[in-house]
Structure 1
Amino acid sequence: MRQIIIFLSFMSLIFASEFGENYYDLDAEQRKQIFFVKMNEMLDVSFENIKQERAFVEAFLNESAKNAFRIKNQKNLEKLIEIKNKYRIENLFDLAEYQKKINFIPKSLGMAQALVESAVGTSRFAREANNLFGEWTWSGEGLLPQRRHTNKNHRIRIFDNLQQSVDSYVLNLNRHFAYEDFREARAKFLEQGKEIKGLDAIHSMHSYSENKNYIKILESVIKKYELEKYDEIQKENLF
């Protein structure tokens, strides 16, 4: 039993180090400032991957259309199929569907949800599983929630590092059926030549939490810490 406790404590220290060696010794406001800086960096990494995937799809499909979709490069076709499966695209050659799903999310939304779901990186799920967004898994592997209802069988998904958690969260919003309202709202903003911001996007997060006050909580966090300023900075790096 003692060995298990020592192991978990050791793992917690490893996970905590991604926010900084002395992160948990800081006061709440200092932790939040570091948290936002780290989240901003990790979202940038996720968005760079999205940017590359979207650029590949657009280049490949536009070029293929010129040749009546007579595909000669088998390797690129396999890559397209991989991206199709990743984003759960229905039509392999439907460029519009790829563009709707392979896109950015408002940074303010991601930061606010990570803050709430992980208690600013201090929750058990964040410290023991690198899980910043409370993502579940039904694979049989993962952390057992201490207050899980008896009729549920989910666990908390474990990630190798914080970046994996951020990547998974962004992918989740871009492909899961529960967030179709978010993707629709984002698409409508883009049709008007605008970028959706966090305070607009939170109203499509009704499926994310069982907490009836979840949207109000996110709104409060975004406003209190003026997180939409990160959405403005994000514009500089769009497609």
Structure 2
Amino acid sequence: MKKKFISFLIALNLYGAFPSWYYNIKNTQKQKKAFVEIMLPLIERENQKIKKLREKIIQIFNDPYFLTNKKNLSFLATIAKKYKIKNLTNKEEYLKKIDIIPPSLALAQAALESGWGKSRFVKQANNIFGHWEYSNKGLKPKSKYEYIKIDYSIKIFPSLENSIAAYMLNLNRNPAYKNFRNLRYKYKKTNKLFTGIIAANTMINYSQLHEKYVTLLKQMIKKNHWEKYDKALSE
């Protein structure tokens, strides 16, 4: 299936989940290619939303009288709550937390966490990045041992897009990824490209595998030549 046609389907919101034809692909390389063709436009679209929000935040702070504008202050309060920003008028705090995620990193984590979209969590819950929730509303994980008590569930998302949005928000506001945000901000200030390979070094807290997980992410990006999608952002 052609990439342009897939992008067209996504634009029409027809991809709430991985399509059945994806799971019928027998050739591994073709399936991996299809995975990228499905996921990349969704990742790029979510990044565009974040980029537009960032631009609006900059526009508000560039107004010397923004503190007198109730509409702007109300908007900032809403965003501050969403991104867990403590200081309502601290521009740097917004810019550190509201920024795009390197596409290669998102693709690598999506592939690793979901088994290239083939895991039960994806098929039954559109959960690409292994998000948990401490409630009984989600999908119960299976335990090999009956005596192990599992007090969390796998969050169910209405669509792949919702799962990607939650993943990006998680990286942008969770204290566990503060190093990721600080490093990204440092690269942004010096006009350097913040790639998935560089970002992967800060993902040590994303998985219980820790250092091994970082290595797996880097290998995934390099093996599939996904850094080209990061470079496309700077062109």
* Fold shared per TM-score above 0.5: yes
Map 1:165-180 to 2 at 5 A.
165-180=163-178
Task: Give the aligned partner of residue 43 of structure 1.
Answer: 43
Work out the CA distance in 2 between the residues paired with 1:21 and 1:141. Answer: 25
Task: Give the aligned partner of residue 23 of structure 2.
Answer: 24
Structure-1-length-normalised TM-score: 0.85
Work out the CA distance in 2 between the residues paired with 1:42 and 1:194. Answer: 24
Structure 1 counterpart of 2:52, one-letter code: Q
Task: Give the aligned partner of residue 136 of structure 2.
Answer: 140
Task: Give the aligned partner of residue 81 of structure 1.
Answer: 77
Q: How many residues align?
A: 218
Provide the identity percentage.
37
Task: Give the aligned partner of residue 104 of structure 1.
Answer: 100
Distance 1:148-1:202 versus aligned 2 partners, 3 A rule: farther
Work out the CA distance in 2 between the residues paired with 1:140 and 1:80. Answer: 33
1:159-208 deviation per Cα after TM superposition (whole angstroms, max 9, x unaligned): 00000000110111010000001111112222322021111111110110
Displacement of 1:16 in angstroms is 8.4
Structure 2 counterpart of 1:132, one-letter code: I
Structure-2-length-normalised TM-score: 0.87
Q: Which runs of 5+ in 2 are unaligned?
A: 1-13
Work out the CA distance in 1 between the residues paired with 2:16 and 2:171. Answer: 27
Distance 1:196-1:134 versus aligned 2 partners, 3 A rule: same
**Cα RMSD (Å) of the superposition?**
1.9
Map 1:126-205 to 2 at 5 A.
126-147=122-143, 150-205=148-203
Work out the CA distance in 2 between the residues paired with 1:16 and 1:80. Answer: 32
Any conservation in 2 of the 1:109–1:198 contact (CA below 8 Å)?
yes
Distance 1:188-1:17 versus aligned 2 partners, 3 A rule: closer
Work out the CA distance in 1 between the residues paired with 2:90 and 2:126. Answer: 35
Work out the CA distance in 1 between the residues paired with 2:65 and 2:119. Answer: 53
Displacement of 1:45 in angstroms is 1.3
Work out the CA distance in 2 between the residues paired with 1:17 and 1:88. Answer: 28
Displacement of 1:77 in angstroms is 2.6
Map 1:85-96 to 2 at 5 A.
85-96=81-92
Displacement of 1:151 in angstroms is 4.9
Distance 1:16-1:126 versus aligned 2 partners, 3 A rule: farther
Match of 2:118 among 122, 128, 146: 122
Any conservation in 2 of the 1:19–1:34 contact (CA below 8 Å)?
no
Structure 1 segments of 4+ aligned residues over 3 angstroms from their partners: 15-21
Q: Which runs of 5+ in 1 are unaligned?
A: 1-14
Equivalent position SS for 2:138: coil
Work out the CA distance in 2 between the residues paired with 1:148 and 1:170. Answer: 31
Displacement of 1:57 in angstroms is 1.5
